[in-house]
Structure 1
Amino acid sequence: MNKLIGYARVSTRGQQADRQIEDLVAAGVRRDDLYVDHGVSGARTSRPGFDQALAALQSGDTLVIATLDRLGRSTQSMLTFAQQLRERGAGLRVLNLGGGDVDTSTPMGSMVFTVMAALAQMELDIKRERITDSVAKRRAAGKDLGGRRRAFTDSQIRSAMKLIDAGEPATQVARDFGMSRATLYRRIQQLSVGDSQVLAE
């Protein structure tokens, strides 16, 4: 019997995968077929939960992820991965890609996946370039030298989370935003708790 194998990932231990898990279960994935990585960057080649999900995947099965960035790889790597799944006789389904549910086992789904993977990589490159440019300007103006510690907005922390999710080293992201890694992790945890409370209400 063909199965849906679900995979969820959060890059820091302060984040929760509940929302991803809810989406996967709603899409038909059984909880026994769910694999989750906590505090694991998408840039790492070895991800225990991801490796277990792939090991459980058989011909005819479909790997289901909530969003494309859960793979956390470059465009070429994501396309290669999708092709490897096809060669194994397995499919890849992304629940929230381009505003819809995309199954790469179909010709249209494969095309949409290719385009969105390229756009995701371009968005990351642009965001990285903007951050680097902003940091360079602050340093040139001497704004990051001593003085009162900056207050970081939730929007900035969410941007940092997206970069980490996409595979950027947390230490580098924290440095680019002008904060320590400990401060970044603390703010991510606070933001995740706040989001969970809002959802509970």
Structure 2
Amino acid sequence: MLIGYARTSTTEQEAGLEAQIRDLTAAGCERVFAERVSSVAPRTELDAALAFVREGDTLVVTKLDRLARTVAKAWEIVEHLEDKGTGLRILSLGGDTVDTRSATGKLILTIFAGFAQFEREMMLERQREGIAKAKVEGRYKGRKPTARAKADDARRLHAEGKTVTEIAKALGIGRASVYRALEGG
């Protein structure tokens, strides 16, 4: 059975997530796990996909960076898959299954995981340089503190008897932001 996994980092990348799901379905995935979460945050759908795969199944991703951002994380996932007797297929590599049980497959995966990690680190470096330059020029203001702007609403909803989870969902902010708003007011 082919099991798909799709991920984007933010809710603004909806089209990217839809494209991944479309490509995974077209590749024959019978079940697709999808989520909108940073690669460094807990990924519940990835955990669910890894728990779901059975011996003989193949986990399919559109690109390696959707699965892992570092070589170490890629190998952690691959070792888990190997322990379960499953394979990994990366569609951007021509759709071929990367057989990590062979020396060639391990080399290919390591090289591509290294490129993904390098690309990510270079992007973050350019981002830091751009922010530093903008700060010097007085153009960088930082991210607008949306949660603080909603603190009064959070306190009002709490006074109405809403739970922290309900407040967070209603206002589109994190639970931790709700707790900070309640403590501050």
TM over 0.5, yes or no?
Answer: yes
CA distance in 2, matches of 1:52, 1:80: 16
Whole-angstrom CA distance in 2 between matches of 1:94 and 1:67:
6
Displacement after TM superposition at 1:116 (Å): 0.8
1:136 Cα deviation after fit: 1.3
1:104 paired to 2:92 = no
TM-score scaled by length of structure 2: 0.68
CA contact (8 A) 1:24 1:65 kept: yes
Task: For structure 1, list consecutive stretches of 5 or more residues without a partner in the other structure.
Answer: 146-174, 183-201
Residues 1:19 and 2:16 are matched in the alignment: no
Cα drift, residue 181 of structure 1: 7.3
Paired residue for 1:9?
A: 7
Question: SS at the partner of 2:127?
Answer: helix
C-alpha contact (below 8 Å) 2:69/2:120 kept by paired residues: no
**The one of 138, 144, 168 aligned to 1:142:** 138
Q: 1:69 aligns with which of 51, 65, 69?
A: 65
Deviations 1:149-173 (A, max 9, x none): xxxxxxxxxxxxxxxxxxxxxxxxx
In the alignment, which residue of structure 2 is the partner of 1:29? 29
Distance 2:127 2:11 in 1: 24
Q: Give the helix-richer structure, 1 or 2.
A: 2
Which structure: larger Rg?
A: 2
* Compared CA separation, residues 119 and 19, structure 1 to 2 (3 A): same
Residues 5, 33 of structure 2: 8 Å contact kept: yes
Q: Which runs of 5+ in 2 are unaligned?
A: 147-185
Q: Match for residue 41 of structure 1?
A: 38
1:134–1:15 CA distance, 2 compared to 1 (3 A): closer
Which of 99, 104, 109 pairs up with 1:113?
Answer: 109
Deviations along 1:138-158, one digit per CA (max 9) or x if unpaired, are 22233336xxxxxxxxxxxxx
Following TM superposition, by how much is the alpha carbon of 1:102 offset from its aligned partner in structure 2, in angstroms? 4.0
User: Is 103-112 or 72-81 further displaced after alignment?
Assistant: 103-112
Return structure 1 stretches of 4+ with deviation > 4 angstroms: none
RMSD: 2.1
2:3/2:32 contact within 8 Å kept:
yes
Query: Among the aligned pairs, what percent are the same residue?
Result: 37
Taking CA–CA contacts closer than 8 Å with sequence separation of 6 or more, which of the two structures ends up with the larger relative contact order? 1
Check whether the contact 2:69–2:113 (CA below 8 A) recurs between aligned residues.
Answer: no
